[in-house]
Amino acid sequence: MDPKVTVRIRAPKTAKAGEVVEIKTLVNHPMESGQRKDADGKTIPRRILNKVVATYGGKQVFAADWHPAISANPYLAFFLKVDAAGTLEMSWTDDDGAVYRTKAEIAIG
């Protein structure tokens, strides 16, 4: 795992049962497409986050496969219907097999 890669998630701390809330995430990651060259003319190896998955209360609520066209430091937002208190867990899988994770607790209030 690259210590320079950081993942952040913004989710409300509380929601009403049945409320639809917005989840926002940002990952600091170079998302190198494998098509650029360095100063010496050598191809910079491809290195992208190729999969993102979100689960809430142990159930998958969002998933996406990403490709080289995704920009560096990708931002993602989606909506989630909160029926009960739980843990929102997100994971991003890198080309090298590294998995970056973060989570947020959402209470019913």
Q: Is 106's pLDDT higher than 80? A: yes
Number of domains into which the chain is organized? 1
Q: What is the pLDDT of residue 43?
A: 95
18 lies in some domain: yes
> Hey, what are 50's tokens?
């190729």
Grade residue 86 by pLDDT with cuts at 50, 70 and 90: very high
Grade residue 95 by pLDDT with cuts at 50, 70 and 90: very high
**Mean local confidence (pLDDT), 63-77:** 92
1 lies in some domain: no
Q: What is the pLDDT of residue 3?
A: 81
> Hey, what are 14's tokens?
């509380």
CB atoms within 10 A of CB 73: 13
Q: Domain span at residue 58?
A: 6-108
- One-letter amino acid at 66 equals W
Quick check: pTM over 0.95? no
